[in-house]
Amino acid sequence: MDQVDEILSQWHRERPDLDVGPMGLLGRLARLYSHLTRAVEKTLADYGLNAASFDVLATLRRSGAPYALSPSALMATAMVTSGTMTNRIDQLEKTGLIKRQANPDDGRSTLIALTQQGHALVEAAVSAHVANQHRLTECLSAAEKQQLNALLATFLARFES
């Protein structure tokens, strides 16, 4: 009987006509997301980053040399609007972790590239981040992690595919 069960129990008392099964599932997912986000940001804060800025640096890093992508490509993987990405890029450029370069092939576009400083920072941050992710999920057995991951993949396919 956790906090989500308590919510479902209240709805059952007040609105017995509602089938709140899915609400339990989605409620747990939302609360879990909230806890996880806070925990992740706590670790990234040690590197002067938040989830948003880390996401940009990490996307550039894992894209491989020369560690440069267009704002559009960054928007797509981050699932944010153009205005949001412009703001993220502005902030990271101010702190010298990335730089805007002209795109020689398309005058409408620019290329966002990791600076030496940005590369070094994300290299350290991603190691700490991955270690933190292990710590956060170690409450689940290997089988549970595998099972949960598979179910999330099935669910996610509803929205991406």
Partner DNA sequence: GGGTAATATCTTGACGTCAAGATAATTGCT
Partner DNA sequence: AGCAATTATCTTGACGTCAAGATATTACCC
Query: Given the rule CB under 7 A, which residues bind DNA?
Result: 50-53, 70-72, 75, 79-91, 100, 103, 106-110
> Are the C-beta atoms of residues 97 and 74 closer than 8 Å to each other?
no
Measure the CA–CA gap between 81 and 76, rounded to whole angstroms.
9
- Cis peptide before 22, with omega less than 30 degrees from 0? no
List the x/- string, 47-86, binding to a second copy by CB under 8 A. Answer: --------------xxxx------------x-x-------
Q: What are phi and psi of 139, to 5 degrees?
A: -75, -10
Which span (87-95, 97-105, 107-115, 150-158) binds a second copy, by CB under 8 A?
A: 150-158
Which of 83, 69, 61, 76 has the alpha carbon at shortest distance from 130?
Answer: 61
At closest approach, how far in Å is the CB of 107 from a second copy? 28
Of 124, 130, 152, which Cα lies nearest the Cα of 40? 130
Residues interacting with a second copy, by CB under 8 A? 2-4, 7, 10-11, 13-15, 18-26, 28-37, 40, 61-64, 77, 79, 126-127, 130, 133-134, 136-137, 139-140, 144-145, 147-149, 151-161
